[in-house]
Amino acid sequence: MTQIVQNYPGSAAGGSLADQRNRVLRNTYWLLALSMVPTVLGAWVGVASGLTHFLTPGIGLVVFMVGAMGFMFAIERTKDSAAGVPILLGFTFFMGLMLARLIGVVLGFKNGGSLIMMAFGGTGAIFFGMATLTTVIKRDLGSMGKFLFIGVILLLIAGLANMFIQSSALMITLSVLAIGIFSAFILVDLKRVQTGEETNYITATLGVYLSLYNVFSNLLAILGIFGGDRD
């Protein structure tokens, strides 16, 4: 019997099952690397224009949630079409734009540039560490993903509550927990590709990108709090 496999932009087609998994993983890595370009560009535009400074924390949160949800909905609808990759890259530009406020604050420190590079290097180290672990861990991580999702929901609730409480200690605690949770999410998402549970590299890239974004932003916030030099 001849197996007919449709060749969509986001899916693996043809070859053995192992070849398909490797292709999805390879495409995920390439698209993830490419997504860093519009992210950096968006952050630069945001810092240079000062656009995000005109948004209050409340309005900024609404813009972020509406924009992010809208983009993710569009990505899910187009993940099997030629429009999937451009929309994903547009989303990463938007996310870079939303990161501009934090980067602008950190750049206000005397050592702001080095703090950003440290956060970038730390995020890269976490990514490569998790990617390496996926080749070592053989067990299924599906149940781990469910617990992590619950953790994200609790983080969101606590984060919203802290907008009113304004506790620095709680903010630092949530940032540390977020780094741990999203680092683990990188492991789970990459493992899903390796085991063939995720066969669409656009969806896979979106998941890993969001985790990296959260790791970087929270790591940068902690470095700014403890390592920022105002002198």
How many Å apart are CA 142 and CA 112, to the nearest integer?
39
Question: What integer best gives the mean pLDDT of the chain?
Answer: 88
Residue 166: predicted pLDDT: 85
Residue 11: predicted pLDDT: 54
Residue 2: predicted pLDDT: 35
What is the tens place of the pLDDT at every residue in 32-77? Answer: 999 999 999 999 999 998 877 777 777 888 889 999 999 999 999 9
- Which pLDDT band holds residue 164 (cuts at 50, 70, 90)? confident
How many Å apart are CA 208 and CA 185, to the nearest integer?
8
Least confident span in 9-13, 54-58, 62-66, 158-162: 9-13
Question: Domain coordinates of the chain in residue numbers?
Answer: 17-227
Task: Inform me whether the pLDDT recorded for 7 exceeds 60.
Answer: no
DSSP 154-214: HHHHHHHHHHHH--HHHHHHHHHHHHHHHHHHHHHHHHHHHTTS--BHHHHHHHHHHHHHH
Question: What residues are paired with 75 via a beta bridge?
Answer: none
Task: Inform me whether the pLDDT recorded for 212 exceeds 90.
Answer: yes
- Which pLDDT band holds residue 122 (cuts at 50, 70, 90)? very high
- Which pLDDT band holds residue 3 (cuts at 50, 70, 90)? very low
Least confident span in 19-28, 136-145, 153-162, 174-183: 136-145
